[in-house]
Amino acid sequence: MFTTGKIALYVTLFVVGVSLIEACMLTRRQRDSATPFDWYEVWISLTDLAGRKLLAFLPLSLAAPVFALAWDHRIFTVTFNSALMVFLLFIGQEFCYYWYHRASHRIRFFWATHAVHHSPNQLTLSSAYRLGLTGKLTGSAIFFTPLVWLGVRPDIVLATLSFNLLYQFWLHNTWTPKLGWLEYVFNTPSAHRVHHASNVDYLDANFGGVLVVFDRLFGTYVEERADEPCRYGLTTPTRSRNPLVVEFEHWVSLARDVASAGSVWTAVRYVILPPGWRADGLCETTESLRQKNSAVPASPGR
C-alpha cells in the first residue's frame, strides 16, 4: 500500500534520477564546449533538497496557523465530487500561485528565498528542486489562504501545490523547443527559460505554474526570442560554490540594508519594495535596469 510518505519518496527519487541522467548527457554533449557542464550547480541543488527534507520535520511554518484560522472561519466546506470542482480548484490554485510567484520577485522579503531558485548560472532539471531553505520560515504559502477560507482543506491545497511544482520540473531545460499552440496556454520550457533569464528584456515575466493564461491576462507574458538568447542566473551572478553562501547571501544583504537604513520607514521599504531598490536612488530594480538599458545607444548595424 502506497502512503503519502512513500509516494513523496518515490517522486523525489524519480526527479533526482532523471536530473542526474540529464546532467550526464549534458556533460558529454558540452565536453568540448566553451561553457562545459558545471556539476557544482547540481551538488548545490541536491544540498538544498536534502536540507529542505530535513527541515520538513520541524514545525516552523508561519503559514500553518494562518491556514488554521482561515479554515476555522471558512465560508463553505468544499467537496470534490465532480470534474467541475476539481477544475475550479486547479484554476483557483493557479491564480494564487501566479500572485505568490509574482510577489516572490517583487517583494524583497520573499525574493531573499526565491533568489536561491534563480541562482543557477545554467538551466537544468536540477534547478527545479533548488527552492531555498527558508520558504517555510517566510510563510509564503499564505498566498493560498483564500482557497482555505473558501472551504478547501489545507492538506488538499498543499497537495495541489505539490502537483503544480511537480509539473514545473520538466520546464527547467534548454533542449526542448517551442511547442506550437501550447505556448499560448501552458507554461512550457520556452516560457520558463525566459522566466529564468537575467536579460533585462526578460526580467519579471512568466510567473504561471502550469498555465500562462494569467501572465497574458495581467501583462507579464514575454515570449522567448531567437535574437535574444537567454542568459541564466541573477543579474548579479552568484559565483560561490558554497551552499551556505547561495542559501543566505540575499538574507545577509537584506539585513545589512535594514541595519543601515537610518529610519524605520526606510528599513520597511527595503523589506517590502522590489529587490534592487535603494534609498540613495542608485536602484537596480527591473524598472531601473530597463530604463538604463533603453538609454544605451544601439551599436552600429543594429
Cβ 129 vs Cβ 16: under 8 Å = yes
What is the arithmetic mean of pLDDT over 106-122? 98
The residue ranges of every structural domain in the chain are 4-250
Residue 100 CA to residue 110 CA, distance in Å, equals: 9
Residue 130 CA to residue 232 CA, distance in Å, equals: 14
Q: Phi and psi for 254 in degrees, rounded to 5?
A: -65, -45
Compute the C-alpha angle 202/205/208, nearest 5°.
145
Q: What is the pLDDT of residues 254-290, one digit of tens each?
A: 999 999 999 999 999 999 999 999 999 999 999 999 9
The per-residue pLDDT for 2 is 63
Cβ 182 vs Cβ 188: under 8 Å = yes
- Tell which residue, 207, 232, 241, 248, has the closest CA to residue 95: 207
- Tell which residue, 119, 131, 118, 120, has the closest CA to residue 52: 131
The per-residue pLDDT for 22 is 98
The model's pTM: 0.94
